[in-house]
Amino acid sequence: MRFRSMARHLSESFSSSSQPYLSYHDILLTTEDIRALKGDWLTDNNIAFWEEWLEREVLPNYPKARVVLLRPSITFLLMQTIDIKGISSALPDFRNVTHIFLPINDSRDRERADGGSHWSLLLVSVIDRVAFHYDSLGGANFYEAQRCTDRLGRVLGIPLRFHQLEDCPQQPNSSDCGVFVCILMRHLLIKRLLVAGSNEKVSMSMAGKMIDSHGGRKEMLRIIESLRKEGERRRSASPYAKPNTPPRIE
């Protein structure tokens, strides 16, 4: 099964049974995802949507970029599966890739991808063979990030050095870890990797970076609502649209 198909299948499988809200390419957001985004712990789908949006709206402006945004469900598979080689068909083609972003979840239950309680971000520089870990709750996901680094290194066939970023901005509460992951991901992608020259050394430090988690939630909601309105417009204009289906952008 191709990477995108597997990611979409797992994303939908791990979703709650709430009502569909927006179908955006390979991601199906539900009303439960929207509720979580307004003030709770972000779901797999929230983060997967953000990655999908960055891939569709940002990365096309940088055709030479070789960056992979691995979905939470695929990162979970990578960390929990016993046979790493057995999930090769679910993984993207990492050849010529320079950097990989991985949302890390602390769930250790192989049967529940949504069973954890904390998100952090792992950014792997394949060209430098270093994995940078950004944890907004101290070292809460230190073990999980190290495990993911080791397993990804085995997939890539290269040793990866693990580096915990001690200057990562810290969340002020128990629910904003996923928002921090999304904001840090976009900042590192747009402000660091995509604007750097081919021979330029990129700093991965987040020293002094301020995170507005409330503003981040509002911005993500604005993006979703804008896409939903566009999906509704397309649905109403199409003679082939099926009734009782969520607005769709594809």
Region for 244 from its dihedrals, namely left if φ exceeds 0, alpha if ψ lies in -120 to 50, beta otherwise: left
Instruction: Say which of 26, 33, 44, 135 is annotated catalytic.
Output: 135
Say which CATH topology domain 3-249 has: Adenoviral Proteinase; Chain (3.40.395)
pLDDT of residue 198: 61
Q: Is 163 a catalytic residue?
A: no
CA-closest candidate to residue 141, choices 98, 211, 183, 79: 79
Instruction: Say which of 148, 168, 177, 182 is annotated catalytic.
Output: 177
pLDDT of residue 83: 87
pLDDT of residue 85: 81
pLDDT of residue 4: 47
pLDDT of residue 84: 86
CB 85 within 8 A of CB 19: no
Is residue 21 within a helix (H) or strand (E), and if so which, with residue range? strand 20-24
CA 94 to chain centre: 17
Q: Is 177 a catalytic residue?
A: yes
Mean pLDDT in consecutive groups of 10 residues from the start of the chain, 250 residues? 43 60 97 97 97 98 96 94 85 95 87 78 97 96 97 96 97 96 98 83 92 98 98 90 87
Q: Is 118 a catalytic residue?
A: yes
* β-bridge partners, 123: 101, 132
CB 111 within 8 A of CB 118: no
Instruction: Say which of 99, 118, 148, 168 is annotated catalytic.
Output: 118
